[in-house]
Chains A and B, each alone.
Chain A
């Protein structure tokens, strides 16, 4: 779609898997931070001519 693959993550984490949850969240955060702010699908202020 033109969205960087690292911006999107799917995971299945049971409510008993707290360590997995922490790991996944950390990893996702790192990956998204590395990409920087999203530029796509973000509406910018309307440009007035």
Chain B
């Protein structure tokens, strides 16, 4: 992936030097292993800070909302789909963007890797499909395929769907992946089992809202959880309120979520709240043939009416 790195630095420096953009949004090395941080680069000299590896799971489309300047943005498959969604929802215009497309090879799951080892991880290095985790000076070898983020393991849009320039040739898309095994498992449960599964899933939630803040779709100036007149949902950790927050957030992402995994990645207690958005993603696909963010030319199912929209739930 080092060839990506050079190309990203080169393109970014060029764009800034030629004043084609006012800034480039990308990643730089974070202060902790597996935590690359988003950064805004304003001049060509600083482009050298930019990095790319398997720890760039944060969705950069999140930083585009209502921006006024000309922006270069590094975009993997899912970021590009959220950029499309942002453009469709008038949160940024296509003309403002110079999209630097990165064919993605999947991000590694920091929750999973942290859980695999005792002690503090000092370093995580990668070389192609090999990951080396260093703990107390001792190196442990892992296969990247075994520690991919769950959403990346079933991702079928790794190449950017929209870009001005690519940093490399497209990667081969994964075929024959079963995207919805986890959702089907829940769908097969009785109501009571579902209730209990979600109760357990959400019980560690501390309402920190990292999941919603990491999500590019959650850009409302005042989120429903923060409103007080009327107060839609209590602010504490009553399980009813926690669940209301999660269900409503998921519904607000219906037909928009790209399953980028930024929400799950951000959660400090490792909750897989993606099962909710994924159910809606599955329904969008199965009932409306819709996958979010693939094209600028079609309106999403929630803001169009078609005579053949499924309606067999209405009597």
Contact = CB atoms under 8 A, between A and B. Distances in A.
B240 interface: yes
Interface stretch (B2-10, B190-198, B218-226): B190-198
Contacts of A2: 191-192, 194-198
B192 A42 contact: no
Contacts of B243: 41
Contacts of B313: 10
A45 to B, nearest CB: 11
A5 B191 contact: yes
Interface size grouping (class) on chain B: 10 to 19
B203 to A, nearest CB: 14
Contact of A42 (B195, B234, B240, B241): B240
B237 to A, nearest CB: 11
Interface string A9-47: 111100000000000100000000000000011110010
Contacts of A3: 191, 195
A19 B20 CA distance: 67
Contacts of B241: 43
Nearest to A35: B191
Report which residue of B196, B243, B315 has the largest number of chain A beta carbons within 10 angstroms of its beta carbon.
B315
Nearest to A8: B313
Nearest to A7: B191
B302 interface: no
Given A1-B194, A4-B191, A40-B195, A12 B314 contact: yes
10 contacts: A1-B198, A1-B247, A2-B195, A4-B191, A5-B191, A9-B315, A11-B314, A12-B314, A40-B195, A41-B244
Q: Which 3 A-B pairs have the closest CB atoms?
A: A2-B195, A2-B194, A10-B314
Interface of B: 191-192, 194-198, 234, 238, 240-241, 243-244, 247, 313-315
Given A41-B244, A43-B238, A43-B241, 17 more contacts: A1-B247, A2-B194, A2-B196, A2-B197, A2-B198, A3-B195, A4-B191, A5-B191, A9-B315, A10-B314, A10-B315, A11-B314, A11-B315, A12-B314, A41-B240, A41-B243, A46-B238
